[in-house]
Structure 1
Amino acid sequence: MTASSSQVILPIIGWREWVSFPELGIPQVKAKIDTGARSSALHAFEIERFQQNGKSMLRFKIHPIQKDETTIVTVIAELLEVRQVRDSGGHTELRPVILTEVALSNYSWKVEVTLTDRSSMGFRMLLGRQAVRQRFVIDVGQSYIQNSAPEN
């Protein structure tokens, strides 16, 4: 089988990678790449909705570092919509959704992210299949292919 000259070769990422959210002021967060999840989810708490210049906005806080509840980033973002999402346990939850830029190594793109309490989960960020579809190939046997863990 030969590859055609029009075939696009996608970059490879591992099952977990470090991502950032430049528009939100979040320099790094460990993300699980989860093709079983349709949407992406970011750990958020103290989510408040308010109006600004005629737009629905959200103010929320996140703990960007796993197992660290002292580091807090306060974020303000425009509310895209409120969506019903089914979690891995089959429970449905109404979640606020934002549209923001996500960066992974040298790649950046806009992604819809739901906000929910992920404090009991293994990862603060879940990058779902809609976010990675037609952008990356996932090597489920590897971690941090695009970037190594940051030094603390």
Structure 2
Amino acid sequence: MRHLSIALVVSLCLLLAGSPPAAARGSHGWVEFVELHLDGEPLRVKAKLDTGAKSSSLDATDIAPFERDGERWVRFRPSRSGLDEAPLVEQPVARYVRIKRHSGPYDRRPVIRLPLCLGDELRMVEVNLTDRGRFIYPLLLGRKALAGLAVVDPARTFVRPPRCDDAPTPDN
């Protein structure tokens, strides 16, 4: 009975919050195509939706931090999944993170904010930039990016293609 009461309270809180919970918007597969909006151009990439990872990582090469008008910026080439070489992109750095590697010392990575389209949801997400060339998926979406956005069905892949063509760029 106590579990039923707790579930009822949680459900009511979610209803009163105004936005439907991610479960009500449908599930996603553990691998999905997403669109990243870099310099106004959509870049479609395969993403692994990983609820076991806290943060998100984007495959990038030629990563070069620099300063512009006293602000921290980074220049990089996003992964094109084996296609033609991507152009250099410049983005402001939101912060830096230290990622513990399985073997060796910490890795210091720049974090950028960018609009991401998953299914029909467009939102700003933070991704750290790193060379993910040895991995299958150029984008790893962790819990922070998925929270309130997606319920992941580990038995499925490519459930909901990105469809945010007419959506305005998110402010959050």
Give 5+ residue unaligned stretches, structure 1. Answer: none
> Shift of residue 90 of structure 1?
5.9
Selected match of 2:67 from 36, 47, 51: 51
Q: What is the match of residue 167 of structure 2?
A: none
Q: Secondary structure at the match of 2:161?
A: coil
Q: Secondary structure at the match of 1:77?
A: strand
Q: Secondary structure at the match of 1:22?
A: strand
The one-letter amino acid of 1:60's match is: F
> Shift of residue 35 of structure 1?
0.9
Alignment pair present for 1:146 and 2:155:
no
Q: Which has the higher strand share?
A: 1
Counting only pairs closer than 5 Å after superposition, residues 69-148 of structure 1 correspond to structure 2 as 70-87=84-101, 89=102, 92-147=106-161
Q: What is the match of residue 40 of structure 1?
A: 56
Structure number, greater radius of gyration: 2
How much identity, in percent, do the aligned residues show?
29
The one-letter amino acid of 1:83's match is: V
Give 5+ residue unaligned stretches, structure 2. Answer: 163-172
Take 1:104 and 1:73, find their aligned partners in 2: how far apart are those partners? 23
Is the 8 Å Cα contact of residues 38 and 89 (structure 2) preserved in structure 1?
Answer: no
TM (norm. structure 1) is 0.84
* Higher relative contact order structure (alpha carbons within 8 Å, sequence separation ≥ 6): 1
Is the 8 Å Cα contact of residues 109 and 129 (structure 2) preserved in structure 1?
Answer: yes
Is the 8 Å Cα contact of residues 63 and 73 (structure 1) preserved in structure 2?
Answer: no
Count of residues in correspondence between the two structures: 145
Q: Structure 1 residues 78 and 99, CA, compared in 2 at 3 Å: closer, same or farther?
A: same
Take 1:73 and 1:103, find their aligned partners in 2: how far apart are those partners? 21
